[in-house]
Amino acid sequence: MTKIRPGVYWVGAIDWDLRRCGAYTTPRGTTYNSYLVRGGESNALIDTVKDGFADELLYRLEKHIEPSDVDFLVVNHAERDHAGDLKRVAEAVDAPIVCRDETRKTVEEHGLDGYDFQVVEDGDTLDLGDRTLRVMEARMLHWPDSTFTYLEEEKVLFPNDAFGQHVATTERWADLVGDLMWHAKRYYAAIVQPFSPLVQKKLKELEDVELEVVAPAHGVIWRRSEGAEGDGPVLEDILEAYDGWSRYESSRKATVVYDSMWDSTAKMARALAQGLMDGGVEVEVFKLRESDDNDIVSHLLESEAMFVGSPTLNGGIYPSVGEFLTFLTGLKPELDAVTFGSYGWAPAAERRLGDRLESAGLDVVEGPTFKYVPDEVDLDEVRRFARDFAINEMED
Ligand code: FEO
């Protein structure tokens, strides 16, 4: 179950309990993947685990070799979920830490100094005997220190966070896990999306690299369709998906997000959905205070347009709408935005929504706004607006 290729083993840890990782939700937990590469002359351990998981890593490592037989500890990225228990692992293996200088600085700035570092650069190789590890810089995918490591003889890429998914499972291969692409999409939308231009650049670079296996630092491992044993997604699928997501490839789909005080904005949201459907568009609707922001941004990744609705509250926008826009802004989405909502005596929310969305880099269209409760005539107007928008502004 832990053998990935000849001499390559998964020795990571499974976090079954995690339901939130920073601002992201993780409904199926996650894994912190660590890999042992055994060479003819020396052994390398690639990446470590979050605080509290070193014992699980060492338990799995000891099934193959004594920790003291690890000759190189490769660190691709020093965020806490991969380096939180670095100290404990480093003490057990007592081997030099192989990493780029940015990773060395990150490790030291987290208060973990005094290690024996072997600093490497893009293109450098580490000879393990009959196995060669090559360093591939992956700056800002998704941290300045992010690095990929490539095992030349077995054509295995260890890309750390890239191509990951937050899924806790006893399976190790992607093709053996159901519903995996949804989790890969949630992960991309919330973590990788802001760096989409760099994903495009890296995918071009990877066209010249032979890949049989991509073994990320979270979730399960991607192998090519020829070697797959299950019906789930394979390496070709995730590479194609990353290409589409990073090019903001959208379908004829709109996502409506809103919150409501007295159901007026809610009525408008439902009418917008009806009009969009009449215009032949696929629609998802989310009431923000009841919904998971991570799910919403996953739908937005493939949407052409987002309708954002808020009632006016104290001269501004509703708190849950503001919170969502804060989350969204950092993700640098690419789509059109339409504002809508209801108000009591001054229509302040829509103007503020427009400002927030424009500052997030979105093209904004002012949609319907009504005082107090929209009646059936008003809602017909909303339906017509949405249908016309679908027909005239959304591509077939
Ligand atoms: Fe999985 Fe950037 O840490």
pLDDT tens string 297-333: 999 999 999 999 999 999 999 999 999 999 999 999 9
Is the CB of residue 81 below 6 angstroms from any atom belonging to ligand 1?
yes
Shortest-distance atom of ligand 1 to CA 32:
1
Q: Which residues contact 392 (CB under 8 A, 6 or more apart)?
A: none
What is the whole-number distance in angstroms between the Cα of residue 46 and the centre of ligand 1? 14
Q: How far is the CA of 48 from the centre of ligand 1 (A)?
A: 11
**135 Cα: distance to centroid of ligand 1 (angstroms):** 18
Burial category of 32 from C-beta neighbours within 10 Å (exposed 0-12, middle 13-18, buried 19 and up): buried
CB of 15 sitting under 6 A from ligand 1: no
Give the contacts of 334 (CB within 8 A, at least 6 positions apart).
Answer: 248, 361
> Does ligand 1 have an atom closer than 6 angstroms to the CB of 47?
no
Q: Is the pLDDT of residue 232 over 70?
A: yes
Specify whether the CB–CB gap between 242 and 351 falls below 8 A: no
Dist. CA 220–CA 215, nearest whole Å = 7
Q: Is the pLDDT of residue 207 over 90?
A: yes
Is the predicted pLDDT of residue 274 greater than 90, yes or no?
yes
Ligand 1 atom 2, closest CA? 79
Q: Please give the torsion angle defined by the CA atoms of residues 346, 350, 356 and 360, in that order, rounded to the nearest 10 degrees.
A: -170
User: Looking at residue 223, what is its pLDDT?
Assistant: 98
**Ligand 1 atom at minimal distance to the Cα of residue 164:** 1
Q: In whole angstroms, what is the distance from residue 165 CA to residue 348 CA? A: 40
The CA-atom distances, in angstroms, between 290 and each of 73, 94, 270 are 44, 49, 16
Dmax (CA) for the chain in angstroms is 79
Q: For residue range 162-188, what is the model confidence (pLDDT) as tens digits?
A: 999 999 999 999 999 999 999 999 999
86 alpha carbon – ligand 1 mean position (Å): 14
Encode pLDDT of 38-92 as tens digits: 999 999 999 999 999 999 999 999 999 999 999 999 999 999 999 999 999 999 9
Using DSSP's 3-state secondary structure scheme, residue 307 falls into strand
CA 393 – ligand 1 centroid, Å: 38
d(CA 106, CA 175): 34
8 A C-beta contact, residue 350 and residue 289:
no
3-class state of residue 289 by DSSP: helix
d(CA 348, CA 55): 55
Please report, for residues 54, 55, 82, 87, the alpha-carbon distance to residue 51 in angstroms, rounded to integers and kept in the order given.
7, 10, 8, 9
d(CA 79, ligand 1 centre) in Å: 5
Ligand 1 within 6 A of CB of 161: yes
Ligand 1: residue whose CA is nearest its atom 3: 79
pLDDT at 213: 98
State residue 348 phi and psi, 5-degree precision.
Answer: -80, -30
Q: Please say if the pLDDT value at position 1 is more than 80.
A: no
List, for residues 331-373, the tens digit of each pLDDT value: 999 999 999 999 999 989 999 999 999 999 999 999 999 999 9
Q: Assess contact for 144 and 150: CB atoms under 8 A.
A: no
pTM for this model (two decimals):
0.96
Q: What is the DSSP string of 347-384?
A: -HHHHHHHHHHHHTT-EEEEEEEEESS--HHHHHHHHH
What does the alpha-carbon distance between residue 31 and residue 18 come to, in Å, rounded to a whole number?
A: 9
With a 6 Å cutoff on the Cβ, whether 77 touches ligand 1 is yes
217 touches ligand 1 (CB under 6 Å): yes
Among the atoms of ligand 1, which is closest to the Cα of residue 142?
A: 2
Neighbours of 249 (CB within 10 A): 11
For residue 194, pLDDT beyond 70: yes
Q: What is the dihedral of CA 255, 259, 260, 261, to 10 degrees?
A: 180
| Whether residue 259 has its Cβ less than 6 Å from ligand 1 | no
Instruction: Quick: pLDDT tens for 103-154.
Output: 999 999 988 888 899 999 999 999 999 999 999 999 999 999 999 999 999 9
